[in-house]
Amino acid sequence: MKIIVTGGAGFIGSALVRHLIDETTHTVLNLDKLTYAASLASLACVSHNPRYSFVHGSICDSALLERVVATFDPDGFINLAAETHVDRSIDGPVAFIDTNINGTFRLLQAAQAHVERLPTDRRARFRFLHVSTDEVYGSLGETGKFHEATPYDPRSPYSASKAASDHLVSAWGHTYGLPILITNCSNNYGPYQFPEKLIPLCIIKALAGEELPIYGRGENIRDWLYVDDHVRALTTVFERGIPCQTYNIGGDAERRNIDVVRRICAVLDTLRPRDGGKHYADLISFVADRPGHDARYAIDASKIRAELGWSPEQSFDAGIEATVKWYLENEDWWEDILAQNYKGERLGLKRAHG
């Protein structure tokens, strides 16, 4: 199939594009605005493949979308283009509203217009997969998990914008018959993740001998999934999911933030011991909490396991070790980012003004 992947220069998008090119026969057009979070270096290994092409542009640009769709004539979309960092959404929500809500709306319009022009057989196969997050469900107490029927209760500007986009996508399926699919996934980690997120931030700060900032007491819980497991799930849902259905994706790997960071420190102690017998965990520092910090996320992924036969392959400990090794072996990739886009400063404590 010919697939437009949006946000394909980001962390999950680039892993998906590499997977689609290396492991399937699909043809991919990557449409990406190249925000601070994008990296074309993450796609170097596929950039010359004849089944891969790239267009620099925004999902908010309807005229561009119309041109790209008319030329590429896709059999489906996988929408990952988004502003994704909760802390940045606290400091400045505007880009989140523009891209996550308005951009998704523009993309739906372009997809719907295209589907209506397709012959019946291609229309029957067409899919619009919207990639979303477990954060739309809000925050859990000590027990329970999010499942597909959990009511939406977003708490941050980021999760509210993603919830809005999910509702728009559902509405296009329900009202116009667009063959949509939605996935809601838990926290991803792995190679090529932008170092504003907890895991790469702590690896890079530890290597620099800087303090490792843990918000609050580090007791908030996330459910971690290795990014390659996520992109296998997305491919499965795109190829075999039932239109108008939602699929939750998660790693069954709940961890407190403090335990995640201690694990990273333990792996680094083995792979790159500090001078003088010091331990990386000595760098852990408890800092002011994130405003509105969600306590716990956990995904019940039994539907995608039972109906589509997907399950995660990477254990948390093996995934963290692979991730730490990758950052140790790919300093050029993240040093470029530190030099150009982000130096590891604390985000998310400003008031929202724009």
Cα(5)–Cα(3) distance, rounded to whole angstroms? 6
Distance between alpha carbon 18 and the CA centroid of its chain, in Å? 15
Nearer to ligand DAU, 10 or 57 (CB): 10
In 10 A of CB 103, how many CB atoms?
26
Report the helix count and the strand count for the chain, using DSSP H and E.
13, 13
Tell me which of ligand NAD, ligand DAU, none is bound by residue 213, counting a contact when its beta carbon lies within the kind-specific cut-off of 5 to 8 angstroms.
ligand DAU
CA angle 302/308/314 to nearest 5° reads 70
27 or 35, CB closer to ligand NAD? 35
- Alpha-carbon distances, residue 132 vs 4, 8, 24, 351 (angstroms): 17, 15, 23, 26
Name the segment binding ligand NAD (CB under 6 A); options: 112-120, 181-189, 264-272, 338-346. Answer: 181-189
DSSP 85: -
* Among ligand DAU, ligand NAD, none, partner that 99 touches (CB below 5 to 8 angstroms by kind): ligand NAD
Which listed range, 4-12, 17-25, 47-55, 86-94, lies at the site for ligand NAD (CB under 6 A)? 4-12
Alpha carbon distance 16, 80 (integer Å):
10
Residue nearest to ligand DAU (CB): 133
Q: Which of residues 190-219 bind ligand NAD (CB under 6 A)?
A: 194
- Strands 225-226 and 188-189: what pairing? parallel
Residue count, binding to ligand NAD (CB under 6 A): 32
What stretches of 180-239 adopt beta strand conformation (E)?
180-185, 188-189, 212-215, 221-223, 225-226
> Encoding tokens for residue 87?
């802390």
Catalytic residues: 134-135, 158
The single residue among 5, 37, 111, 234 that binds ligand NAD, judged by CB under 6 A, is: 37
Q: Which residue's Cβ has the minimum distance to ligand NAD? A: 10
Q: Contact letters (x/-) for ligand NAD, 63-102, by CB under 6 A? A: -----------------xxxxx--------------x---
CB of 104 to ligand NAD, least distance (A): 9
Dihedral sign (CA 304, 306, 311, 317): positive
When the beta carbons of 197 and 280 are compared against ligand NAD, the nearer one is 197
Pick the binder of ligand NAD from 103, 138, 190, 312 (CB under 6 A). Answer: 103
Q: Which two tokens stand for residue 279?
A: 């331990």
User: Which of ligand DAU, ligand NAD, none is residue 30 near (CB under 5 to 8 Å by kind)?
Assistant: none
| Residue 201 binding partner per list ligand DAU, ligand NAD, none, with a CB distance cut-off of 5 to 8 Å that depends on partner kind | ligand DAU
Q: Which stretch binds ligand NAD (CB under 6 A): 11-19, 20-28, 255-263, 285-293?
A: 11-19
Interface of this chain with ligand NAD, residues 127 to 166, rule: CB under 6 A? 131-133, 162
Task: Report in angstroms how near the CB of residue 73 gets to ligand NAD at its nearest.
Answer: 20
Determine the Cα–Cα distance for residues 251 and 297; give it in Å rounded to an integer: 11
Q: Minimum distance between the CB of residue 231 and ligand NAD, rounded to whole angstroms?
A: 10
- Among the listed residues 60, 110, 214, 337, the single contact to ligand NAD using CB under 6 A: 60
Considering the complex, state which of residue 165 and residue 235 has its C-beta at the smaller distance from ligand DAU.
165
* 102 secondary structure, DSSP code: I
Residue 4 interacts with ligand NAD (CB under 6 A): yes or no:
no
- Which secondary structure element, helix H or strand E, spans residue 248, and what is its range? strand 245-249
Provide the sign of the torsion angle of the four alpha carbons 266, 330, 199, 190, taken in this order: negative
